[in-house]
A = this chain, B = another copy of it.
Amino acid sequence: MFIGSQDGAQRFCMRFFEIHPGGHTPRHSHDWEHEIFIHEGHGSAYKEGRWVPITQGDALFIPPNEEHQIKNTSDKPLRFVCLIPAGPAEL
């Protein structure tokens, strides 16, 4: 957790993730949204039923309940921040 309730953030939280080359997040969905900013590297994001390329400087909005996944298709780390609403999702 980069910024969360322990910092006084009452409404939304910032997390930081690094995916190693060849790695990926689980494909899943949940009832809260994501706002993602790609800090470094590139790869692919699954959203709206298809894979789209992502690269550093890109922003992605994942609406609630939308199935999504992120994978690193490169040979360098993929680093991104992912914002979520505060509350149960922060746990």
For residue A14, CB closer than 8 A to chain B, the reply is yes
Q: Interface residues of A: mostly helix, strand, loop or mixed?
A: strand
- State in angstroms the CA–CA spacing of A16 and B57 once bound together: 9
Whether A83 touches B33, Cβ cut-off 8 Å, given contacts A8-B61, A39-B57, A61-B3, is: no
CB distance from A50 to the nearest CB of B (A): 18
> Contacts A8-B63, A35-B83, A81-B81 given; 20 further ones with Cβ under 8 A?
A2-B37, A3-B35, A3-B59, A3-B60, A7-B61, A9-B33, A9-B35, A9-B61, A10-B33, A11-B11, A11-B12, A12-B12, A12-B83, A14-B37, A14-B59, A37-B81, A39-B39, A39-B56, A39-B57, A83-B83
Q: Which 7 A-B pairs have the closest CB atoms?
A: A2-B59, A12-B12, A7-B61, A3-B61, A3-B35, A14-B35, A37-B81
